[in-house]
Amino acid sequence: MSNSPTEYRFSFGPWNIHEGADPFGPPVRESYSFDEKVDFYRDLGFLGIQFHDDDVVPDIDEKTHAQLISRAKSVKTQIDNHGLTAEVIAPRLWESSLTIDGAFTSNSAKERQYALERSKRCVDIANVLECKNFVLWLAREGTYIRETKSSSDAVGQLLDAINALLDYDPEIRILIEPKPNEPMDIAYIPTIGHAIGLAYASADSDRVGGLIESAHAILAGLEPSDEMGYALYHNKLWSVHLNDQNGLKFDQDKAFGSANLRRAFNQVRVLEENGYGRNGEYIGLDVKVMRTQPRDISTKHLLSSRRTFLNLLEKVRTLDRKVEQEFIAARDYEGLDFYILEHLLGK
């Protein structure tokens, strides 16, 4: 590994600029079109786009294969013209009337088949975009009540789907994005440990890894930086969705560091210290702007999350490791605690 500092590249998804609807109220801001969103990226300091299949090809289920490829090609030209890269692409498997009971773990064989076909179409789009990173957020793979499905059969169904996708394309890499709940009461793959278990059980474990979202780890009652460390040890942290979360409630996707700056510091630290980014991994954000934000300034959460990452990176790089080691050697963890706080406060 070279000693020169990593120059991090950042990504976000078009859904991170949004209209402010929540389960209790309608949109409060007029939409920006896809083309307008693409225009924003570079000015905000971002080079990578996180896609869902239907961000690229709207109304994907109504499109023929030829229409799908043709639309994907025009998006590829558009992002090339902006000097942008498709970092990841994910099939949006949770909105169709055919995935109400789950996608790969639906109780209906016909619906499971739909989920696989839709995912293969997403791989076809990935190929046009020259994107090797296929994200699976397993949104509806879980239960509202335990009695409806077999948790053990579900693992086999998920593995069958993963293996079928690995077989469909010899180069695609699958990044599982775990989340413990929402929309389901309880999800089958709640943590990165579960995801990595699936990876090792798959037909080509080198091509199955993970994407860790800070808020999802927090919702599982876990420390995101330790979850990241676990995946990094296995060389399976291939993307992140940095954001923040204030306690155990709905998935908030707050700006990075806005609920707990020290927890954010430790995420930046574990990434930096383990060479994250040196194989082309992006610092992905998955952040939602507050519902109260006026439309013309509804991208500030992206700017500020990126700045917070860079500010914390400076804190990681300027931490005096010798002082830290002295505290550790003396087992003076109270002293170290206060030293870290003062460092973060710029004292």
Residue 282, interface with ligand XUL (CB under 6 A)?
no
Residue 288, interface with Mn ion (CB under 5 A)?
no
Instruction: Choose the one of ligand XUL, Mn ion, none that binds residue 141, judging by a C-beta under 5 to 8 angstroms depending on kind.
Output: none
Candidate residues 53, 111, 141, 213; the one interacting with Mn ion per rule CB under 5 A: 213
User: Please, what is the minimum distance in Å from the beta carbon of residue 221 to ligand XUL?
Assistant: 16
- Residues 2-41 binding ligand XUL (CB under 6 A) are none
| Site stretch for Mn ion (CB under 5 A), options 56-64, 120-128, 212-220, 319-327 | 212-220
Please give the DSSP secondary-structure letter assigned to residue 297: G
What is the H or E stretch that residue 24 is in? Answer: none
Cβ neighbours of residue 292 under 8 Å, at least 6 residues apart? none
Candidate residues 241, 254, 269, 306; the one interacting with Mn ion per rule CB under 5 A: 241
Candidate residues 46, 286, 287, 306; the one interacting with ligand XUL per rule CB under 6 A: 286
Residue 198 and residue 209: Cα distance in Å, rounded? 9
Other C-beta atoms lying within 10 Å of the C-beta of residue 132: 18
Of 229 and 284, the one with the shorter C-beta distance to ligand XUL is: 284
Residue 54, interface with ligand XUL (CB under 6 A)?
no
Q: 3-state DSSP call for residue 112?
A: helix
Residue 177, interface with ligand XUL (CB under 6 A)?
yes
Residue 17 and residue 44: Cα distance in Å, rounded? 12
Of 54 and 177, the one with the shorter C-beta distance to ligand XUL is: 177
Residue 241, interface with ligand XUL (CB under 6 A)?
yes
Residue 286, interface with Mn ion (CB under 5 A)?
yes
Residue 251, interface with ligand XUL (CB under 6 A)?
yes
Residue 149 and residue 153: Cα distance in Å, rounded? 8
Instruction: Choose the one of ligand XUL, Mn ion, none that binds residue 244, judging by a C-beta under 5 to 8 angstroms depending on kind.
Output: none
| Burial group, residue 22, by CB count within 10 angstroms (0-12, 13-18, 19+) | exposed
User: Please, what is the minimum distance in Å from the beta carbon of residue 241 to Mn ion?
Assistant: 4
| Burial group, residue 77, by CB count within 10 angstroms (0-12, 13-18, 19+) | exposed
Other C-beta atoms lying within 10 Å of the C-beta of residue 110: 8
Q: Total binding residues for Mn ion by CB under 5 A?
A: 3
Of 134 and 137, the one with the shorter C-beta distance to ligand XUL is: 137
Residue 186 and residue 53: Cα distance in Å, rounded? 25
How many residues appear in the chain? 347
User: Please, what is the minimum distance in Å from the beta carbon of residue 16 to ligand XUL?
Assistant: 9
Candidate residues 41, 51, 137, 339; the one interacting with ligand XUL per rule CB under 6 A: 137
Cβ neighbours of residue 150 under 8 Å, at least 6 residues apart? none
Candidate residues 54, 55, 87, 213; the one interacting with ligand XUL per rule CB under 6 A: 213
The owner of tokens 């994005």 is: 177
Residue 104 contacts residue 158 (beta carbons within 8 Å): yes
Residue 253, interface with Mn ion (CB under 5 A)?
no
Residue 227, interface with ligand XUL (CB under 6 A)?
no
Please give the DSSP secondary-structure letter assigned to residue 187: E
H helices of 214-332, where? 214-219, 224-233, 261-273, 300-318, 321-329
Instruction: Choose the one of ligand XUL, Mn ion, none that binds residue 251, judging by a C-beta under 5 to 8 angstroms depending on kind.
Output: ligand XUL
Q: Which residues bind Mn ion (CB under 5 A)?
A: 213, 241, 286
Residues that bind ligand XUL (CB under 6 A): 90, 135, 137, 177, 179, 213, 241, 251, 286
